[in-house]
Chains A and B, each alone.
Chain A
Amino acid sequence: MQSIASYITLLGTVLLIGVFYFVISNSKLQEEYSSFSKKWYSFRGKWFIFLIILGTALTLGTLIPFPIPSQAKVYSSDDYQQVDVSGHQWYWTMSTDTVVAGKPVEFRVIGADVNHGFGVYNEDLELVAQVQAMPDYTNKLIHTFDEPGKYRIFCLEYCGLAHHVMMSELKVEAAN
């Protein structure tokens, strides 16, 4: 996902640079505004319709199915591995530090004192899942680990002076 985000941004920025270059390189010449304004304002309507269609497609494509797990649902221990996670200034507690790959994990995450951010990183330091750890609320994060290995837990919400040392580890073992 991160590389797609980068490519979209890079492509969009380069296209915009191209449009601005075209306009700026054509700015010194002087031409009567009315000679082209009607044509280009008519193009604006098409540009608007294109953006609406693009937005509709993006909305449907990215929100169905909805990417955030249901918080009302009760996740059974038969189908889900369960880990209770609590964020404290400045450490994590987890009911277990070992899960298996291939079976979904339900992380039940709270902030014991202030807001924290529960971020799960793989061995290549890629962020694979996250959720806020909030006081007074239990956030249910569902994630299935595809690969076994040592995952790292970092805090992703600023929580005070030792925010950056709030780290823990999660072992993901291969399923039998």
Chain B
Amino acid sequence: MSTTTVSNKISYSEAENQGALVAVKAHLIAAFLVFLLMMLAGATLRAAQGNMAPIGADVFYQFMTVHGAGMIGIAAIAGMAVLWYFLRQYVPLSTKIFWINFGIFLTGVVIILGSVFLGKYGGAWTFLYPLPGISMGAWSTGAAAAFLLGLLIIGTGFLILLLDFGRAILSSYGSFGRALGLPQLFGKEPLNPYHPATVVAGTMVLIVDFIGIAAGAVVLVMMLVNLYNPEFKPDPLLVKNLIYFFGHVIINVAIYSAVVAIYELLPRYTGRPYKTSKVFYAAWFAIVFMVMSVYPHHLYMDFPMPKWAMIGAQILSYGSGLPVMVVTGYGALMLVYRSGIRWNTSAKLLMLSIFGWAAGGIPAVVDSMVSFNRVLHNTMWVPGHFHFYLLLGVLPMIFGFTFYLLNGANGAQEEKPPLTERLGFYSFVGGALLFVGGFLASGASGIPRRWAVHLEEWVPYAQWSTLGAVLVIVGVLLFTLRVLTVLPKAPDPALAPAH
């Protein structure tokens, strides 16, 4: 591998670039297929709550477990693929390690699927201690252990990949501080507006994800020990803290990985550079700490939590929305305004992702306030807000990047996007809004989350959401058809001229 830096970019051989492109495409194709399968599982859950899918409670909770773990896992690895594709252009990343993580991920997935569908494990992705070990006969200790082990294996793969990020960033920038732009932020180095936003984001992801996954590994090992040695009893509140720290970091990092698609691609589509600045560095530096410290907003209803942790969580949860609203979202809107942008499917999806991220943040910030959380915690409001910014924020970032690879740098060149892409886009957007609207309305009506069977009064909300879910699936199915038929042979868009 070459490590020559030319104008901020790493020079690779043609074979190395080709190998990397194949690896990224493999990640994306797997992601589309898994997203589709997980969406079918999710739609089945809502249909069951709407009395439209006759499945037993045991199957419901198994589907729920797979849907939760599967969506988080695939969003994490697909987001990482977006980041990896762009980050390797600035720091020398190893394609071999990228593949190793993918292989380890698939191994973990197979073990988790075995634990759920063979071992009947239905303890939810949150695996709250001591539920995995106390199933009242619904699943065995072995099935619970397999689920925890599968997560641990997947985490190990990510840690290996992140170590490679760390090595590559240090080899190019000397320190994580320089990669984050801190000497520029604090005036120790002159401001360089062409310092890559992707390197800043990649360094933040490395730091935060590494710590989050390490905490996850600690709690998974503690729970595995407890399963086979019940004398070892960890503190349930400590375990809950570790689980939510780990879970919150993992899913947030999926967003902060995929967002580089906006920084890298919108400038291509608008012909305007995305320049880094002190405001940009300050926002990302703040996010490093905020993403790790806001998680106690999941624990407001655990009253023994220290008061300072709850107050801090409310303030930081609000604060962590500011960089989105003031830096990334605002900057993206500025790039697009009167730019003459051609709205190919990739550009549309990226614009949608900014909207979904920002708008989904509103019900999230509301729920992160203690006063509202008292009546919204663990109602459908919670899946409502995270489906908002995951379905309409993260997924369109990943999809937008995929369509960039699929259609070349300028989209479908001079033509209008194909009908399948246009139909897919509108079905996806309309369905997603209907779907999250149904969730949020359910939450505002006090409907609890994670209930296999709903009271009669609640059934119409589930039916409304199911219709939304079906439209979302139609959209993603159309996208997936394009991906399966065109992406494998699509040339490297980096070789195409920019708009």
Stretch from B27-35, B284-292, B357-365, B411-419 that touches the partner: B357-365
With A16-B359, A23-B337, A71-B304 known to touch, is A161 a contact of B375 (CB < 8 Å)? no
B377 on the A face (CB < 8 A): yes
Query: For the complex, what is the distance from the CA of A117 to the CA of B369, rounded to whole Å?
Result: 19
B-chain residues with CB within 8 Å of residue A147 when the two chains form the complex: none
Query: For the complex, what is the distance from the CA of A13 to the CA of B102, rounded to whole Å?
Result: 37
B363 to A: closest C-beta gap in Å: 5
A94 on the B face (CB < 8 A): no
With A44-B326, A114-B131, A164-B452 known to touch, is A68 a contact of B307 (CB < 8 Å)? yes
Can you list, as one digit per residue, whether each of B433-457 has a CB less than 8 Å from chain A (1) or not (0)? 0000000110111101111110101
Q: Which of B316-335 contact A (CB under 8 A)?
A: 318-319, 322, 325-326, 330, 333-334
With A1-B372, A44-B330 known to touch, is A113 a contact of B138 (CB < 8 Å)? no
Query: For the complex, what is the distance from the CA of A48 to the CA of B362, rounded to whole Å?
Result: 16
Contact of A114 among B134, B338, B370 (CB under 8 A): B134
A-chain residues with CB within 8 Å of residue B355 when the two chains form the complex: 16-17, 20
Stretch from A77-85, A96-104, A152-160 that touches the partner: A152-160
Interface pair A27/B378, CB less than 8 Å apart: no
A-chain residues with CB within 8 Å of residue B369 when the two chains form the complex: 58, 62
The interface centre, meaning the residue of B339, B369, B448 with most chain A CB atoms within 10 A of its CB, is B448
With A127-B375, A135-B236, A162-B57 known to touch, is A141 a contact of B303 (CB < 8 Å)? yes
Which residues of chain A have a CB within 8 Å of any CB of chain B? 1-6, 8-9, 12-13, 16-17, 19-20, 23-24, 26-31, 33, 36-37, 40-41, 44, 47-48, 51-52, 55, 58-59, 62-63, 66-69, 71, 89-90, 111, 113-115, 117, 119, 121, 125-132, 134-137, 139-141, 154-165
Additional A-B contacts beyond A5-B381, A40-B337 (10; CB < 8 A):
A8-B366, A9-B363, A27-B340, A30-B340, A113-B134, A114-B130, A127-B446, A131-B303, A161-B57, A163-B450
Which residues of chain B have a CB within 8 Å of any CB of chain A? 57-58, 61, 122-124, 126, 128, 130-131, 134-136, 138, 235-237, 240, 272, 300-304, 307, 310-311, 314-315, 318-319, 322, 325-326, 330, 333-334, 336-341, 343, 351, 355, 358-359, 362-363, 366-367, 369-372, 374-379, 381, 440-441, 443-446, 448-453, 455, 457
